[in-house]
Amino acid sequence: MLFLAVFCGFLAENIREHIVERSRAKEYAQSLIADLSSDTMIVRHYSGYNEMIISYLDSLAAIIGENRTRDVKGSQLYFYGRFCNGGLQILWHNATLEQIKNSGGLRYFKNLSLVKKISEYYAKTKEIDSKYETDLTRIVAATELRNKIFRSAFLEPFTRLYFTLPVSPVDSARVAGLKDTDMPLQLYDSDLLNQLANICLTRRLNLVIARNDYTTVATLARELISQLKEEYHLK
């Protein structure tokens, strides 16, 4: 009888721990879904911004490469040149992931496929961050060249425009007005211009790679959200 009582107590304790762990896992799952949903929205927005920057880098490199810097209105060069150092670092909603990782919370998730997907997503976000850090050296170099080539007084209205684009669509009328103004460069030095064009082309490649990474991480996020909802019967 004593053995049976101890055994039943052991089973009850195991059942209680299982319920607690399942409940904790469900809480983590709900929080993860909220973070992942926010990430997918940011990635979608940044993807559009990256495509715009790629287009502007193409245009600036083409004008310089075809020796048309004196043939086009200087304002076009100012417009495209302001974006030569463009690019945004994603600020991930990773509070839940960090908490799970640091507290050993992954043990609450019993589905190994789910654990693998969480780890894969976390690793991909870190990879994207690392690539952005690498691109920062070229962003700095592009900024230094731009500051030598362009006059700050003419660059200023494009700077105001630049800071509105990450949060709102392009104001076509405003852009057209700015690009229709003649603005001379500080220097028409072919060596400096070619250096800027080369950096633009390199940065374009980095942004194309980022485009592929964004597609991958967005797919992972959607798959993870779907798997979490199915595993823990969440809406």
> Taking a C-beta distance cutoff of 8 angstroms, is the pair 135, 87 a contact?
yes
pTM score of the predicted model = 0.82
Tens digit of pLDDT per residue, the chain (235 long)? 544 444 444 444 454 455 445 568 788 889 999 999 999 999 998 898 888 899 999 999 999 999 999 988 888 888 889 889 888 889 999 889 888 888 777 787 888 888 899 989 999 999 999 999 999 999 999 999 999 999 988 888 777 776 666 555 555 666 666 667 778 999 999 999 999 999 999 999 999 999 999 999 999 999 999 999 998 888 7
DSSP 113-163: HHHHHHHHHHHHHHHHHHHHHHHHHHHHHHHHHHHHHS-HHHHHHHHHHHH
> Taking a C-beta distance cutoff of 8 angstroms, is the pair 89, 129 a contact?
yes
- Token pair belonging to 9: 């107590």
Cα distance between residue 208 and residue 214, in whole Å: 10
Is the Cα torsion angle 102, 105, 107, 112 positive or negative in sign? negative
**What's the number of domains the chain is made of?**
1
Among 181, 158, 184, CA closest to 83: 158
To which H or E segment does residue 176 belong?
A: helix 172-179
- Token pair belonging to 128: 């994207």
Output helix, strand, coil percentages for the chain, rounded to the nearest 5.
Answer: 80, 0, 20
> Taking a C-beta distance cutoff of 8 angstroms, is the pair 92, 113 a contact?
no
- Token pair belonging to 92: 């991930």
Identify the domain containing residue 73 by its residue range: 2-232
